[in-house]
Structure 1
Amino acid sequence: MRGNIIVRIEHDCQDLPPERRSDLVTRRLRFLSDAEILDLASRRERQYPGRNLHPVSITLPADVLERLQRLQGSRWSVSALIDRILTDSGKA
Protein backbone atom coordinates (compact mmCIF):
# COMPACT_ATOMS: atom_id res chain seq x y z
CA MET A 1 0.00 0.00 0.00
CA ARG A 2 1.22 3.47 -0.87
CA GLY A 3 0.08 6.91 0.20
CA ASN A 4 0.64 10.49 -0.88
CA ILE A 5 1.79 13.37 1.26
CA ILE A 6 2.15 17.01 0.29
CA VAL A 7 5.27 18.76 1.56
CA ARG A 8 6.59 22.28 1.08
CA ILE A 9 10.20 22.41 -0.05
CA GLU A 10 12.55 25.27 -0.73
CA HIS A 11 14.21 23.82 -3.80
CA ASP A 12 12.33 23.63 -7.06
CA CYS A 13 12.52 20.05 -8.27
CA GLN A 14 10.28 20.33 -11.33
CA ASP A 15 12.93 18.63 -13.46
CA LEU A 16 12.90 15.57 -11.17
CA PRO A 17 10.09 13.16 -12.11
CA PRO A 18 7.66 12.33 -9.28
CA GLU A 19 8.61 8.63 -9.37
CA ARG A 20 12.29 9.49 -8.97
CA ARG A 21 11.55 11.86 -6.05
CA SER A 22 9.53 9.17 -4.31
CA ASP A 23 12.22 6.56 -4.93
CA LEU A 24 14.98 8.80 -3.54
CA VAL A 25 13.00 9.63 -0.41
CA THR A 26 11.90 6.02 0.15
CA ARG A 27 15.41 4.57 -0.17
CA ARG A 28 16.93 7.23 2.05
CA LEU A 29 14.29 6.91 4.79
CA ARG A 30 14.69 3.14 4.85
CA PHE A 31 18.47 3.52 5.15
CA LEU A 32 18.61 6.20 7.87
CA SER A 33 18.41 5.43 11.58
CA ASP A 34 15.68 7.02 13.68
CA ALA A 35 18.23 9.40 15.21
CA GLU A 36 19.43 10.50 11.76
CA ILE A 37 15.85 11.07 10.63
CA LEU A 38 15.14 13.20 13.70
CA ASP A 39 18.28 15.21 13.05
CA LEU A 40 17.24 15.91 9.46
CA ALA A 41 13.66 16.63 10.48
CA SER A 42 14.49 19.55 12.76
CA ARG A 43 12.33 22.53 11.89
CA ARG A 44 13.63 25.20 9.57
CA GLU A 45 14.26 28.62 11.05
CA ARG A 46 11.20 30.82 10.81
CA GLN A 47 13.28 33.98 10.72
CA TYR A 48 13.26 33.95 6.92
CA PRO A 49 9.67 34.98 6.06
CA GLY A 50 10.56 35.43 2.39
CA ARG A 51 11.29 31.73 1.96
CA ASN A 52 9.90 30.53 -1.35
CA LEU A 53 8.37 27.12 -0.61
CA HIS A 54 6.96 24.91 -3.35
CA PRO A 55 4.24 22.30 -2.67
CA VAL A 56 5.33 18.85 -3.84
CA SER A 57 3.48 15.54 -3.72
CA ILE A 58 5.47 12.49 -2.66
CA THR A 59 4.13 8.93 -2.88
CA LEU A 60 5.54 6.66 -0.19
CA PRO A 61 5.01 3.03 0.86
CA ALA A 62 3.21 2.23 4.12
CA ASP A 63 6.37 1.33 6.10
CA VAL A 64 7.95 4.71 5.32
CA LEU A 65 4.74 6.58 6.15
CA GLU A 66 4.66 4.80 9.53
CA ARG A 67 8.18 6.02 10.31
CA LEU A 68 7.16 9.57 9.40
CA GLN A 69 4.16 9.43 11.73
CA ARG A 70 6.60 9.36 14.66
CA LEU A 71 7.65 12.91 13.79
CA GLN A 72 4.64 14.54 15.36
CA GLY A 73 5.14 17.58 17.50
CA SER A 74 6.41 21.10 17.18
CA ARG A 75 10.10 20.17 16.99
CA TRP A 76 9.92 18.14 13.77
CA SER A 77 8.99 18.94 10.19
CA VAL A 78 8.36 16.31 7.53
CA SER A 79 8.64 19.03 4.88
CA ALA A 80 12.09 20.03 6.14
CA LEU A 81 13.11 16.35 6.25
CA ILE A 82 12.03 15.71 2.64
CA ASP A 83 13.63 18.97 1.49
CA ARG A 84 16.95 18.03 3.08
CA ILE A 85 16.85 14.50 1.67
CA LEU A 86 16.27 15.79 -1.86
CA THR A 87 18.92 18.48 -1.44
CA ASP A 88 21.46 16.02 0.01
CA SER A 89 20.81 13.72 -2.91
CA GLY A 90 21.97 16.52 -5.19
CA LYS A 91 18.80 16.22 -7.20
CA ALA A 92 16.85 19.30 -6.13
Structure 2
Amino acid sequence: MTQTGSLMVKLPIPLRTQAQAVAKLRGETVSEVVRQALRDYVQESLEDARDLREVMALDARIDAGQEPVFSHEDVWAEIELLEARGDLPA
Protein backbone atom coordinates (compact mmCIF):
# COMPACT_ATOMS: atom_id res chain seq x y z
CA MET A 1 0.00 0.00 0.00
CA THR A 2 1.21 3.51 -0.82
CA GLN A 3 2.22 5.62 2.14
CA THR A 4 0.47 8.94 2.42
CA GLY A 5 1.06 12.18 4.21
CA SER A 6 -1.12 15.17 4.84
CA LEU A 7 -0.77 18.47 3.03
CA MET A 8 -2.79 21.50 4.01
CA VAL A 9 -3.66 23.78 1.12
CA LYS A 10 -5.60 27.02 1.35
CA LEU A 11 -7.89 27.52 -1.64
CA PRO A 12 -10.00 30.45 -2.71
CA ILE A 13 -13.64 29.69 -1.88
CA PRO A 14 -14.72 29.55 -5.57
CA LEU A 15 -12.00 26.99 -6.36
CA ARG A 16 -12.96 24.88 -3.36
CA THR A 17 -16.60 25.03 -4.45
CA GLN A 18 -15.63 23.92 -7.96
CA ALA A 19 -13.54 21.05 -6.57
CA GLN A 20 -16.48 19.95 -4.44
CA ALA A 21 -18.78 20.05 -7.47
CA VAL A 22 -16.34 17.97 -9.54
CA ALA A 23 -15.98 15.47 -6.70
CA LYS A 24 -19.74 15.12 -6.44
CA LEU A 25 -20.13 14.66 -10.21
CA ARG A 26 -17.41 11.99 -10.28
CA GLY A 27 -18.48 10.25 -7.10
CA GLU A 28 -15.11 10.97 -5.50
CA THR A 29 -13.87 12.85 -2.48
CA VAL A 30 -12.40 16.32 -2.79
CA SER A 31 -9.09 14.79 -1.69
CA GLU A 32 -9.20 12.38 -4.65
CA VAL A 33 -9.96 15.21 -7.07
CA VAL A 34 -7.13 17.36 -5.68
CA ARG A 35 -4.70 14.40 -5.69
CA GLN A 36 -5.45 13.67 -9.35
CA ALA A 37 -5.17 17.35 -10.30
CA LEU A 38 -1.82 17.62 -8.51
CA ARG A 39 -0.61 14.35 -10.07
CA ASP A 40 -1.53 15.68 -13.55
CA TYR A 41 0.12 19.05 -12.85
CA VAL A 42 3.36 17.46 -11.64
CA GLN A 43 3.48 15.09 -14.63
CA GLU A 44 2.89 17.95 -17.07
CA SER A 45 5.54 20.09 -15.36
CA LEU A 46 8.09 17.28 -15.59
CA GLU A 47 7.27 16.76 -19.28
CA ASP A 48 7.62 20.51 -19.90
CA ALA A 49 11.03 20.50 -18.20
CA ARG A 50 12.17 17.53 -20.33
CA ASP A 51 10.92 19.25 -23.48
CA LEU A 52 12.77 22.44 -22.56
CA ARG A 53 16.01 20.52 -21.98
CA GLU A 54 15.64 18.82 -25.37
CA VAL A 55 14.98 22.13 -27.13
CA MET A 56 17.98 23.76 -25.43
CA ALA A 57 20.21 20.81 -26.42
CA LEU A 58 18.96 20.99 -30.02
CA ASP A 59 19.52 24.74 -30.09
CA ALA A 60 23.09 24.24 -28.85
CA ARG A 61 23.71 21.62 -31.57
CA ILE A 62 22.33 24.01 -34.21
CA ASP A 63 24.58 26.80 -32.91
CA ALA A 64 27.56 24.42 -33.06
CA GLY A 65 26.73 23.48 -36.66
CA GLN A 66 25.92 19.90 -35.70
CA GLU A 67 22.33 19.98 -36.99
CA PRO A 68 21.18 20.90 -40.49
CA VAL A 69 19.09 24.03 -40.92
CA PHE A 70 16.95 24.63 -44.00
CA SER A 71 15.53 27.92 -45.25
CA HIS A 72 11.87 28.33 -46.07
CA GLU A 73 12.78 28.51 -49.76
CA ASP A 74 14.80 25.28 -49.57
CA VAL A 75 11.90 23.45 -47.95
CA TRP A 76 9.43 24.64 -50.57
CA ALA A 77 11.83 23.73 -53.37
CA GLU A 78 12.09 20.19 -51.96
CA ILE A 79 8.30 19.94 -51.66
CA GLU A 80 7.84 21.11 -55.24
CA LEU A 81 10.43 18.59 -56.45
CA LEU A 82 8.71 15.75 -54.61
CA GLU A 83 5.35 16.90 -55.93
CA ALA A 84 6.64 17.04 -59.52
CA ARG A 85 7.98 13.48 -59.18
CA GLY A 86 4.69 12.30 -57.68
CA ASP A 87 6.43 11.30 -54.45
CA LEU A 88 4.06 13.12 -52.10
CA PRO A 89 1.16 11.26 -50.50
CA ALA A 90 -2.28 12.11 -51.84
- TM-score by length of structure 1 reads 0.29
Q: Higher strand fraction: Structure 1 or Structure 2?
A: 1
Give the structure, 1 or 2, with the largest relative contact order (CA under 8 Å, sep 6 or more): 1
Q: Higher helix fraction: Structure 1 or Structure 2?
A: 2
Larger Rg: 2
- TM-score by length of structure 2 reads 0.29
